[in-house]
Amino acid sequence: MASALERLELSDQKHAEEMGAIEAYVEQIKSLSDERETLTVEFEKENDALKIQIESGRGRKDQISIEHKNPLSQ
């Protein structure tokens, strides 16, 4: 009977250790997921800013092209 209780206690201890490892793993995954979400938001903002810069550059290019085509209108 004592042997069975020892095995049960060891099993419970091993189970608790494994659950601790699983909880740590889950927390790590949550942390990585949060980090990914933060980076995604930052990249989307940067992407939007770059799109605005490109459009602004296109507008300036078009304006310069028009000015070169019509130098007398300046």
Residue 74 · residue 67 · CB < 8 Å: yes
Whether the model pTM is above 0.85: no
- Structural domain boundaries of the chain? 2-69
- How far apart (Å, rounded) are the C-alpha atoms in residues 26 and 18? 12
Distance CA 12, CA 19 (A): 10
Say yes or no to pLDDT of 2 above 90.
no
Q: What percent of the chain has pLDDT over 70?
A: 81
Q: What's the pLDDT band for 60 if we cut at 50, 70, 90?
A: confident
Report d(CA 9, CA 23) in Å as an integer: 21
Per residue in 16-45, pLDDT tens?
999 999 999 999 999 999 999 999 999 999
